[in-house]
């Protein structure tokens, strides 16, 4: 099973600043990685697929990068609506599909 590890667990960022979230896989997943945003009380929403491709409707200030085992999600010009939990998920090798433990982004 591929284990996904996210860091940090919590990130506190001021509005307008940049948040960088990390995700590491226990073995290579190529670029078969997705990022999801889950706002409080809401359903997860696909942000990024293929490690770096934004899903339709996702603002350009969200960007994904990385390949192999190390990935990052960058949120530039942070807005109050970006308060959420963010999860990475690998789909290179299944079953199982595996998610990271999540990073909570707080607004300072």
Q: Which stretch binds another protein (CB under 8 A): 12-20, 23-31, 60-68, 81-89?
A: 81-89
Q: Shortest Cβ distance from residue 77 to another protein (Å)?
A: 24
**Is residue 11 near another protein by the rule CB under 8 A?**
no
x/- binding map, residues 12-51, to another protein, per CB under 8 A? Answer: --------------------x-x-x-x----xxxx--xx-
Question: 32 vs 69, which CB is nearer to another protein?
Answer: 32
**Is residue 95 near another protein by the rule CB under 8 A?**
yes
CA distance 63 to 52: 6
Is residue 104 within a helix (H) or strand (E), and if so which, with residue range? strand 103-107
Classify 81 as helix, strand or coil: helix
* CA angle, residues 17, 69, 29, in degrees to nearest 5: 115
């Amino acid at each position: 099973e591929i284990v996904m590890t996210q860091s940090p667990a919590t990130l506190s960022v001021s509005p307008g600043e940049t948040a960088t979230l990390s995700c590491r896989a226990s073995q290579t997943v190529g670029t078969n990685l997705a990022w999801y945003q889950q706002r409080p009380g809401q359903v997860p929403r696909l942000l990024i697929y293929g490690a770096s491709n934004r899903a339709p409707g996702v603002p350009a200030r969200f960007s994904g990068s990385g390949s192999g085992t190390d990935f990052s999600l960058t949120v530039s010009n942070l807005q109050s609506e970006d308060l959420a939990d963010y999860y990475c998920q690998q789909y290179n090798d299944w079953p199982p599909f595996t998610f990271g433990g999540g990073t909570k982004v707080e607004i300072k």
